Structure 1
């Protein structure tokens, strides 16, 4: 009986293996042939942005001017208005580009820029382009625009089914986010493109953070974009999507929102925003300082990056020795064994370590929260102070740290940390195994006592009550409202069933996937 079962199992595995091999042959990606890898254009010399920024950069040689985009509406307006101000080039790189109102508005802005003669390069991770094939093909068909996909899926109609036969390639994604105009201005940080990331409308909102940068670091971002644009795992969309099937796909998509009150809201945001006007006029408040781009090698998407080329290793080296304080925000916080050891080492040296992440009631990825809870008790016992975003308190986010958000259902999405009141990192990197080992990431490490101090101060104020303070009461984890002192002994947002699911996921050997 046992021998028969073993034979059946071996036979099944062989058939599955053959099916996977056959599927990979039948649904193989087109070979990348005759691809011309363009490079970043020289910084534009014409236009109001170029003229103003040349003046503002005088006396700031070798430095980077930084403005934080804490408010989602400003972050949206900055991208649209910069695209409209472009005279030479737009290079955009994103993990997710939704087929919603902001997604269509920004695609339309790129199309209008191409129509004006601006060269547009759009690089997207194919995991986040659902239902946009026609629109991307249309943009790519314009002679002044080109669209490429990172690690594209084999199937278009049933994309996720591709994981069944090409899992290990597709499990590696490009999580980078940058938006560079005329080689003069760039925006990078935590925001993808979609309504929820810009803080208005009916969608679930994200508490997020971007940095707008001018000066020295912008050519570094452009060169990094070129590395990804030319990477072997990046494919032109033409052979993947085929020829544009119809003109007007972007216009038609936008037309669906013609009578939507949300469209009027976004138009009011654009009319009321002064961020690009102030930048062009030279009176946008920029802090001129040292800033370094830290990013992964695109070879990470093929599993071929050297350990020393990983963002985590480069960031650790750039931050150098932490002396007294480390305050971090990570929506997906799964420190793993290595992270737990690193926090333990910091605490042994007397460094204060405080982290803010999503509570169960605020998270949008339950398995990641399970990975976090499996290490939560260990971190607390080692002296790490933990805070978890309260879903119903997100509307009171400290404006000087992350901006104001109008929804009571916000989920944390910002990825940032401050060190010793001197340096702050803003980017796409989460404290989890996926960001460390699987996805490519990028961000800015900024020398700024002001920006770092804002984040430290927010933690000193216990995040103005927006988060639970998590502590150990004996062997039991408890959640404390910093404002009222009220203690909750069952994890907020849970039911018995959810607690069972969390416990079971925590037992599974899937931490490396989280």
Structure 2
């Protein structure tokens, strides 16, 4: 595309979530209404713990939808699960379901032809958040429009018939659903029904109509309805592979949506609040009061007994470190799990965290770092195994839980838009806190020696191993992280 500026937004056709103020007259809506009637002012939440089940739940929601699918993601890979999910959306559209797909444009380059083909269906509209003008050479936008291109939409939600939604940390890609041979993320999602779904639909509408959401048709190369066949062809090709068979089996074996429709899904019923950033954050115009981090800070600051945090990309900054230390001095027990250098997929983020590690330990804060690995984790919140932590959740005082897309780092706080739930559930809070009872099975305990040096304890075959350097990393990687830790790049992380 030769265009050197973004197209105008006045050609967008307004649309809104289906049945925002009524019970949708669909099979999903009717069955859920029967469950929610017994729990006024509460939402039902069900943790999607297994990665394959998390994929199957999304695919089955797409297959069950009768009127609308509103889908919003930061990353959508051109891989097995990404291709199969695009096929599921197109199949829904062909049944008459209106599909609205809002994607951040950061990683869509290889998907442009398939998105263009999907967008040609009369029941589908694709919009791109903060899109790149230069489709092939996207780095040019970081030179010519850095302030905008550096702001991304990190929200993740998948909502069917305005009746059920999936919100959490997973993007759409093989590594999030256990199909990658190279990397698997430990992550957390919840399936929710009840009043909070209406809030997610309202939030989707405001992002859909925001100043950062551009119709894909105005940006992508022209396509035709016949090109939709390539989506089915691509899905058929990946379905013939051995890895895809696991996902096809998961669709047949996972009973989440069937259990939902037959009132057999063990929901936890609790007051649940959706928190999200004002989409104006995408253009740098959101007020501090409209930022998710402002509201989370108030919730965390109210802790009186215990604060348990799990964050894949944990960069507390000086202000955040000071706030955590102050909490600890007030007598709050704080335990944090993040990725080790060995496990992280972003070394620069680890550098941003490492500079505050000693200060946190000196304040009595307990630190665990996820091991990489081939090892089974037995982490019920995240699934059965993991190579790298990707979840973002916390619990406070054994009473409430946050699950969502927000990383505790400057990028989530100031640059990316984010979305999550605060769930007033002692059951969920205690489950998250309980993960740390078995933390030595899957994480290093980070300690501080008497002479002020950081070291790591590893439990292995009944023995305790001590590491005086970042475990199982090369000297070159450690030197690189130390160099990054003294560079002024924290605001980019």
What TM-score range do you get, normalising by the shorter chain? over 0.9
Which position in structure 1 is the counterpart of 2:412? 435
1:233 aligns with 2:212: yes
Q: Give the C-alpha shift of residue 254 in structure 1.
A: 1.6
Alignment of 1:154-303 (within 5 A): 154-244=133-223, 246-303=227-284
Question: C-alpha displacement at 1:360, in angstroms?
Answer: 0.6
Partner residue in 2 for 1:467: 443
Q: 2:365 aligns with which of 384, 387, 396?
A: 384
Superposed CA deviations along residues 277-324 of structure 1, whole A, max 9, x for unmatched, are 100111100011100001000011111110111101122334561011
Distance in 1 between residues matched to 2:375 and 2:4, nearest whole Å: 44
Corresponding residue for residue 41 of structure 1: 18
Give the corresponding residue for 1:484.
463
Match of 2:329 in 1: 348
- 2:127 alignment partner, one of 137, 148, 164: 148
**What is the aligned partner in structure 2 of residue 362 from structure 1?**
343
Larger Rg: 1
Q: Which residue of 2 aligns with 1:22?
A: none
Contact 2:18/2:24 (<8 A) preserved = no
Q: Distance in 2 between matches of 1:320 and 1:370?
A: 26
Pair 1:81–1:449, CA change in 2 (3 A): same
In the TM superposition, what is the alpha-carbon distance from 1:204 to its structure 2 partner? 1.0
Deviates more, 1:277-286 or 1:472-481: 472-481
Return the alpha-carbon distance in structure 2 between the equivalents of residues 437 and 71 of structure 1: 31
Aligned equivalents of 1:203, 1:182: Cα separation in 2: 35
Show the counterpart of 1:20: none
Tell me how many residue pairs correspond in the alignment.
485
Q: Distance in 2 between matches of 1:371 and 1:189?
A: 24
**CA shift for structure 1 position 395:** 2.0
- Do the aligned partners of 1:397 and 1:463 also contact (CA within 8 Å) in 2? no
Deviation, 1:380, is 1.1
Give the CA deviation at 1:140.
1.1
Q: Return the offset for 1:203.
A: 4.1
Which of 79, 83, 102 is matched with 2:62 structurally? 83
* SS of corresponding position for 2:106: strand
Q: Deviations over 1:223-259 (max 9, x none)?
A: 0000100001110001100321534231232233143
Q: Give the CA deviation at 1:398.
A: 1.9
Distance change in 2, residues 1:203/1:495 (3 Å): closer
Distance 1:95 1:384 in 2: 32
Give the distance between the partners of 1:26 and 1:254, measured in 2 at CA.
Answer: 32
The DSSP-based 3-state class of the residue aligned with 1:99 is coil
Aligned residue number for residue 422 of structure 2: 445
> Contact (CA 8 Å) 2:118, 2:228: kept in 1 or not?
no
SS in 2 for 1:128: coil
TM-score, normalised by the number of residues in structure 2: 0.95
User: Taking structure 1 as reference, are residues 394 and 209 closer, same or farther at Cα in structure 2, changes over 3 Å only?
Assistant: farther
In 1, the alpha carbon distance for the partners of 2:353 and 2:390 equals 15
Is 1:424 aligned with 2:401? yes
Q: Does 1:457 align with 2:431?
A: no
Q: Within 1, Cα distance between the matches of 2:375 and 2:429?
A: 21
Q: Displacement of 1:138 after TM fit? A: 1.1
Check if 1:328 corresponds to 2:305: no
| C-alpha contact 2:82 2:174 (8 A) present in aligned 1 | yes
Structure 2 Cα separation of the partners of residues 137 and 214 of structure 1: 32
In structure 2, stretches of 5+ residues that fail to align are none
Residues 343-385 of structure 1: CA distance to partner in whole angstroms, max 9, x if unpaired? 0110110101111000011000011111111111111112111
Q: Is the contact made by 2:23 and 2:33 (CA closer than 8 Å) also made in structure 1?
A: no
**Structure 2 contact 26–161 (Cα < 8 Å) conserved:** no
- SS of the equivalent of 2:18 reads coil
Contact 1:44 1:182 in 2 (8 A): no
Distance 2:463 2:285 in 1: 51
Conserved 8 A contact 1:458-1:464 = no
Shift of 1:393: 5.9
Residue 66 (str. 1) matches residue 45 (str. 2): yes
Q: CA deviation at 1:168?
A: 1.5
Change (3 A) 1:45 1:233: closer
Deviation at 1:57, TM superposition (A): 1.3
CA RMSD of aligned residues (A): 1.5
What whole-Å deviation, never above 9, does each CA across 1:109-167 have from its counterpart, x for those lacking one? 11011111111000000002131111111111111110000000111112233212221
Unaligned runs of 5+ in 1: 1-24
Equivalent position of 1:403 in the other structure: 383
- Residue of structure 2 equivalent to 1:505: 484
Counterpart of 2:5?
Answer: 28
Query: Counterparts of 1:214 and 1:320 in 2: how far apart (Å)?
Result: 29
